[in-house]
Amino acid sequence: MATYGINDIESWERFYRANFINSLTGFKSVNLIGSVNGAGQPNLGIFSSIVHIGSNPPLIGYINRPVNAAPHTMANIEATGVYTINHINTSFVQKAHQTSAKYEFGISEFDEVGLTPEYRDGIIAPYVKESSIKYALSLQEVIPIKLNNTFLVIGKVISIQIDEAIVSEDGFLHLDKANSICSNGLDGYYTTELIERYQYAKPGIKPQKLN
């Protein structure tokens, strides 16, 4: 085991540190966020900072970088109040990664990378047609994180599009069977394989596997 202290971390070259700290947090949910600006132009961006806030009400957050580094998605969400989150599948990883390029405001990443915007059920923000699990959110709150000028953007899930075959009897979703991927660091993408599900844990009882 090597030990790195705060002085080491602060001395690292900028990209080395970004790679290291982004990996340190572990595997991440990686998704495409679809939005639309006030003129109706669609936008698509890749985000790996999705976090579950609560199930009742169904609240999901993501971290938006400082406005000058990542301006379009949050501006659209604040302008329209609605956005979509779309799982990335193994079939379009490279296209999803390409949405991270810095396109100008008003340019549709859908067109640039070759993914298909899909409008359903009265949701004004575009879904990604190619995605097997996707949902729309209504903006609830943008919480500024003053420590580094980022934002926690929280939405309430208002509509879900999903293949019923991957929904278990108890509500658990077989994300691996849906070909959803996860990410690591800034640029690594992974498939997964189930080890096990375990029953609700109670003191003094060894956890049993769920069938």
Long-range contacts of 118-123 (CB under 8 A, 24+ apart): 120/159, 120/161, 121/159, 123/82, 123/84, 123/158, 123/159
98 binds a copy of itself, rule: CB under 8 A: yes
Q: Which one, of 156, 185, 189, lies nearest residue 60 by Cα?
A: 156
Quote the Cα angle for 6-8-9, to 5°.
65
188 binds a copy of itself, rule: CB under 8 A: yes
- Among positions 38-67, residues that touch a copy of itself (CB under 8 A) are 48-61, 63
| Nearer residue to a copy of itself within complex by CB, 116 or 191 | 191
171 binds a copy of itself, rule: CB under 8 A: yes
Considering only 26-34, 37-45, 76-84, which stretch makes contact with a copy of itself by CB under 8 A? 26-34
- Supply the minimum distance, in Å, between the C-beta of residue 84 and a copy of itself: 12
Q: Where are the beta strands (DSSP E) in 21-122?
A: 28-29, 31-36, 42-47, 50-55, 58-64, 82-87, 117-118
Q: Cα separation of 82 and 71, whole Å?
A: 16
Is the Cβ–Cβ distance between 139 and 155 less than 8 Å?
A: yes
Which one of residues 71, 78, 90, 106 is an interface residue with a copy of itself (CB under 8 A)?
90
Considering only 8-16, 32-40, 74-82, which stretch makes contact with a copy of itself by CB under 8 A? 8-16
197 binds a copy of itself, rule: CB under 8 A: yes
Which one of residues 38, 39, 193, 211 is an interface residue with a copy of itself (CB under 8 A)?
193
- Among positions 151-170, residues that touch a copy of itself (CB under 8 A) are 152, 154, 156-164, 167-168, 170
- Supply the minimum distance, in Å, between the C-beta of residue 150 and a copy of itself: 6
- In the block, tokens 């096990």 appear at 196
Q: Which one, of 35, 34, 33, 67, lies nearest residue 50 by Cα?
A: 33
The amino acid sitting at 80 is T
68 binds a copy of itself, rule: CB under 8 A: no
- Supply the minimum distance, in Å, between the C-beta of residue 95 and a copy of itself: 9
